[in-house]
Amino acid sequence: MGPSDCVKTSCDGWYDARIQVVPGQIFEAGAMTPINKNICNVTRPNKELVLVGETPQVEKTYTYYHVGYPFMYTDCMPGIVKSFIDSLKSLCGKQNNPSIGFLVQSGFPEAYHSRFVERYLEKLAKRLNCQYIGCIVKGGIEGTRVMPHFMTKKIFNSFYELGKAYGRSGKFDQMLLNKLAKPEHLSALTRLFYSFGKLIGLVNNYWDKQLKENNAFEKRFDKPYMR
């Protein structure tokens, strides 16, 4: 995969995929930052953000690029990502560039699907002459938006601990990275469960619900580009 692999794609839900520039700020001591569920829906009409908690805010932040989804896909690079990476070309050959790290999340439960993206991002950091901090990989994130809070608490706590450790050392803790990335591969028992769920229609229930909500269920087998 590389900058030439460009396709027009989005994702399997409603997300704001625009890249935003978040200016650096100075915060008062003791300030807190809200943690919202479905942050990618922030600009969706008639869709309110759900506040699930707060986390301590560091006193000083630096300007950064923020994009909710999609930032990369499993086997291709969306045009919006290629455009963003192209904009960083001016860093090549310069000294004292900022350090760079990445967060790769996917709906696929296995971290293995994202390892190829991780390898590409490490190469990208070298090409940009930036110190590579590392890459956080977490699968199964798509399902968190429909899970109750008690089922996602462990995941978000792991992200919090990873950020806390990074704030102390300026590095990603490898043990926490390995813990957060699990499962690397689905176990035989889990694969058997999914196979059974497919037979009884449980696996398709999530997608069928979205199709029905958008009056597209009857068109789910249409092939408009083959006409």
Tokens matching residue 180 = 């957060």
The verdict on residue 109 lying in a domain is: yes
Looking at the fold, whether 61 and 167 belong to one and the same domain comes out as yes
User: Does residue 5 carry a pLDDT above 50?
Assistant: no
Tokens matching residue 28 = 């008062």
Residue whose C-alpha is closest to residue 22's, from 54, 55, 68: 68
User: Does residue 10 carry a pLDDT above 80?
Assistant: no
Looking at the fold, whether 51 and 119 belong to one and the same domain comes out as yes
Looking at the fold, whether 42 and 138 belong to one and the same domain comes out as yes
User: Does residue 3 carry a pLDDT above 70?
Assistant: no
The verdict on residue 111 lying in a domain is: yes
Cα–Cα distance, 119 to 168 (Å, whole number): 26
The verdict on residue 1 lying in a domain is: no
Looking at the fold, whether 104 and 177 belong to one and the same domain comes out as yes
Q: What is the pLDDT of residues 45-82, one digit of tens each?
A: 777 778 888 888 888 888 877 665 555 454 556 666 77
Looking at the fold, whether 14 and 108 belong to one and the same domain comes out as yes
Greatest Cα pair distance in the chain? 61
The count of structural domains within the chain is: 2
The verdict on residue 168 lying in a domain is: yes
Rounded (5°) CA angle 183-188-189: 95
Looking at the fold, whether 124 and 193 belong to one and the same domain comes out as no
Looking at the fold, whether 103 and 159 belong to one and the same domain comes out as yes
Looking at the fold, whether 152 and 206 belong to one and the same domain comes out as no
| Domain that residue 30 falls in | 6-188
Q: For residue 7, how many C-alpha atoms fall within 13 Å in the half-sphere facing its CB? A: 11
Tokens matching residue 128 = 């940009």
Looking at the fold, whether 68 and 157 belong to one and the same domain comes out as yes
Looking at the fold, whether 151 and 173 belong to one and the same domain comes out as yes
pLDDT given for residue 76 in this prediction? 58
Q: Is the peptide bond before 183 cis (omega within 30 degrees of 0)?
A: yes
Looking at the fold, whether 183 and 223 belong to one and the same domain comes out as no
Looking at the fold, whether 199 and 214 belong to one and the same domain comes out as yes
Tokens matching residue 195 = 């196979």
Contact by Cβ (8 Å): 202, 191: no
